[in-house]
Homo-oligomer: A and B are copies of this chain.
Amino acid sequence: MDGHVLALAGGVGGAKLVLGLSRILPPERLTVVVNTGDDEEFHGLHVSPDLDTVMYTLAGLANPETGWGLAGETFNALSMLGKYGAETWFNLGDNDLATHITRTRLLREGATLSEATEELCRKLGVMHRVVPMTDDRVRTTLSTDSGELAMQDYFVRWQSEPKVNAVNYVGADSASPSRGLLEALEYAEMVIFCPSNPFLSLGPILAVPGLRVLMKGFGGIRVGVSPIVGGAALRGPAGKMMAELGEAVSCTAVARQYEEMLDIFLIDHEDAAHAPMIEGIGIQAEVASIIMNDDDDKVGLARHILALANG
């Protein structure tokens, strides 16, 4: 396979695999489509957490401790915003703020989110293409036992503690896929579902009208990676949320979310016993080392995935 690869990604987990892919594929062979369902306005600034995580990761600027935000960050503006009475539970660093200020300025000047993202990436030297799933406004909200919560409210402010009854993608019905997404789909030979939260990261992408149909009808090879290993999420609230939504917390349950949209699903050695159940959904299960602790793991997993196209 020497064709184009389209990767669907959320935040930190997705960015890990994307980094691995970017080390193997030249820029013209990779497009990363990123969730914007958890975009939010803070202090009047447009914040795109997942786009930034992917961008900072590819720019080599990401904070290696957290996976999100910038390395060596300071938080002085946030402290002063607190003096002005603003809520400061969402950690916006000083360097990070420059991203949101610039994005907000570009959007106010009439740029689409795609154009703003392209400009930011270009200036940070990111060569691979990073595109939002849509230029329209889609906002993931959660119906919880503490009421309806915006994604960041749930995830950051309330530390994913409230019990989730339903996940909603507000605005998705009237959103269109971004042009960058559609263009990449035109000539992609492989689609990768990164190991991101199926409800909070890939769910919003697949909720954009047309995406499920496009994935189902995609002519190339479609590979997913499980974010669940051994009955628990590798990171974040995916496991807890799946249980609350009445799903089993397993790679099989994740695979079921992607029924008819995947050819192959990578699961961890620990979950090898799930392979028959996943095959039962009509998806080929591939047992592999899918935990990415360091850059070698990321590149290794990326290489494994890309090799599947030649299998």
Seen from chain A, the residues whose Cβ lies within 8 Å of a Cβ on chain B are 43-45, 73-74, 76-81, 83-86, 93-99, 101-102, 104-105, 108-109, 119-120, 123-124
Contact = CB atoms under 8 A, between A and B. Distances in A.
A43 B97 CA distance: 11
Contacts of A105: 43-44
B120 A84 contact: yes
Interface of A is mostly: helix
A180 to B, nearest CB: 20
Contact of A81 (B81, B83, B101, B104): B101
Given A79-B98, A81-B102, 15 more contacts: A44-B101, A44-B104, A44-B105, A44-B109, A74-B94, A77-B77, A77-B97, A78-B98, A79-B95, A80-B94, A84-B102, A94-B97, A97-B97, A97-B101, A101-B101
A120 B77 CA distance: 14
A43 B99 CA distance: 11
Contacts of A108: 44
Contact of A101 (B77, B85, B109, B124): B77
Given A44-B108, A105-B43, A98 B74 contact: no
A183 to B, nearest CB: 25
Given A76-B74, A77-B98, A84 B44 contact: no
Contacts of A109: 44
Contacts of A102: 43, 81, 84, 86
A123 B82 CA distance: 10
Nearest to A75: B94
Contact of A85 (B77, B78, B104, B123): B123
A274 B141 CA distance: 72
Contacts of A120: 84
A210 to B, nearest CB: 32
